[in-house]
C-alpha cells in the first residue's frame, strides 16, 4: 500500500495544490478588483462540464476551454465600453443557468451536480491529483515569469506602457491563469466556491504584508492552512468538505480583520 492509496492524503494534496495556485493569483484579483470576474469565469465552468460529458472528453479540457472563452469575452467586451459590473452580472448568471440546463439534457449520463457545484475533494483520484498539480505548477510558472510585468501593469498602466509593457497582454496572462485555476479547482471546492479560494486568502493576508511578494506568500500559506484545516474539520464534524474549507478561510479573514483594527500595519 502506497501513501497515495489513502483518500485523505489525496484530498490533502489536492487542497494544497489548489490553494498554492489560487492564493497568489487571488492577490492580483484583489489588487485589480476583479472579484466578480473570477466569479463569472467559475460559473461558466459548469457549461464546460456539460459540453465535456456530451462530447465524451475530459472534464478538465471542457472546463478549461469554456473558462478561457468566458474570461476572454469579458476582457474584450469590457474594453469596448460596457459597464463591467453589469456585464459580469449578466454573463456569470447566464453561463451558470445555461450550464445547468445543458446538464439536464444529457442522456444516459449519471452526474452528481452537487459535486460540481460544491466540490468533491474526497473523490479525488491519482489522475485528478496529477491534473491539479500540473495546472497549479503551470499557474505558478506563469506568475513567476510575468510577476514584474503583471505588477507594473496592475499598479499603473501608463507606467507599464512607458516601460514597454502592454497591459492588455498581461491581462491575457491573468485570464489564462484564472481559467487554469478554475479548471483544477472544480473538483476540490466546486463551481460556486472557486472565487472564495481566490479572494479570501488574499484578502486575509493583506493587513500583514508590506510588499506584494510577501502578500502572495502569506496568502498561499493561509490557503494551504484553510485546505488542510477544513479537510480535518469536515472529517471530524461530518460536514461538506468544500464549504468547510471556505468557512475556515472566512473565519481566518474575520480574525485578520479584527487584528488589523488593533494593529495598523502597512497594507498592499
Condensed to tens digits (0 to 9), the pLDDT of residues 45-65 reads: 888 888 888 888 888 888 888
Q: Cell 499598479 appears where?
A: 155
Mean pLDDT of 85-113: 77
Is 217 a domain residue?
Answer: no
Q: Rg of the chain over CA atoms, in angstroms?
A: 18
**Structural domain includes residue 239:** no
CA atoms 78, 81, 82, 84: torsion sign: positive
Task: Say if CB 103 and CB 47 are below 8 A apart.
Answer: no
Share of the chain above pLDDT 90, in %: 26
Q: What is the CATH number of the domain that holds 100?
A: 1.10.3470.10
Tell me the mean pLDDT in the region 181-191.
Answer: 85
Give a yes or no: residue 108 inside a domain.
Answer: yes
Domain-embedded: residue 170: yes
Q: Is the pLDDT of residue 265 over 80?
A: no
| Mean pLDDT (whole number) for 72-77 | 75
Q: Is residue 212 part of a domain?
A: no
Whether the CB-CB separation of 124 and 10 falls below 8 Å is answered with yes
pLDDT of res. 83: 65
Model confidence at 4, pLDDT cuts 50, 70, 90, reads low
Q: How confident is the model at residue 82 (pLDDT cuts 50, 70, 90)?
A: low
Residues 98 and 76: their CA atoms lie apart, in Å, by: 21
**Model pLDDT, residue 264:** 63
Would 10 be classed as within a structural domain? yes
And the C-alpha cell for 216? 502572495
User: Residue 143: which domain range?
Assistant: 3-191
Write down the pLDDT at residue 34.
Answer: 77
CB count within 10 Å of CB 191 equals: 28
pLDDT band of 36, cuts 50, 70, 90? confident
Q: Is residue 15 part of a domain?
A: yes
Q: Is the pLDDT of residue 266 over 70?
A: no
Task: State the chain's mean pLDDT as an integer.
Answer: 84
Residue 238 lies in a domain: no
Tell me the mean pLDDT in the region 142-167: 88
Percentage of the chain exceeding pLDDT 70: 92
Question: Mean pLDDT over residues 214-239, rounded?
Answer: 92
Total domains in the fold of the chain: 1
Amino acid at each position: 500500500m502506497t501513501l497515495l492509496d489513502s483518500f485523505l492524503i489525496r484530498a490533502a494534496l489536492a487542497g494544497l495544490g489548489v490553494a498554492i495556485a489560487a492564493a497568489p493569483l487571488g492577490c492580483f484579483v484583489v489588487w485589480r478588483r476583479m472579484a466578480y470576474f473570477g466569479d463569472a469565469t467559475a460559473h461558466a465552468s459548469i457549461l464546460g462540464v456539460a459540453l465535456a460529458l456530451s462530447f465524451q472528453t475530459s472534464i478538465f479540457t471542457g472546463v478549461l476551454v469554456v473558462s478561457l472563452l468566458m474570461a476572454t469575452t469579458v476582457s474584450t467586451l469590457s474594453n469596448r465600453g460596457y459597464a463591467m459590473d453589469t456585464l459580469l452580472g449578466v454573463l456569470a448568471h447566464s453561463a451558470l443557468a445555461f450550464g445547468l440546463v445543458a446538464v439536464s439534457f444529457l442522456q444516459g449520463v449519471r452526474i452528481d451536480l452537487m459535486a460540481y457545484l460544491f466540490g468533491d475533494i474526497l473523490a479525488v483520484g491519482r489522475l485528478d491529483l496529477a491534473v491539479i498539480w500540473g495546472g497549479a505548477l503551470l499557474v505558478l510558472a506563469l506568475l513567476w515569469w510575468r510577476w514584474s510585468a503583471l505588477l507594473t501593469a496592475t499598479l499603473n498602466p501608463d507606467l507599464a506602457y512607458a516601460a514597454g509593457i502592454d497591459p492588455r497582454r498581461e491581462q491575457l496572462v491573468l485570464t489564462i491563469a484564472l481559467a487554469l485555476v478554475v479548471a483544477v479547482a472544480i473538483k476540490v471546492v466546486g463551481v460556486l466556491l472557486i472565487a472564495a479560494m481566490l479572494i479570501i486568502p488574499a484578502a486575509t493576508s493583506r493587513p500583514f504584508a508590506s510588499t506584494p511578494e510577501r502578500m502572495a506568500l502569506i496568502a498561499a500559506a493561509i490557503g494551504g492552512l484553510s485546505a488542510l484545516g477544513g479537510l480535518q474539520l469536515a472529517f471530524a464534524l461530518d460536514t461538506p468538505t468544500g464549504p468547510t474549507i471556505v468557512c475556515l478561510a472566512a473565519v481566518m479573514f474575520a480574525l485578520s480583520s479584527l487584528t488589523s483594527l488593533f494593529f495598523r500595519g502597512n497594507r498592499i
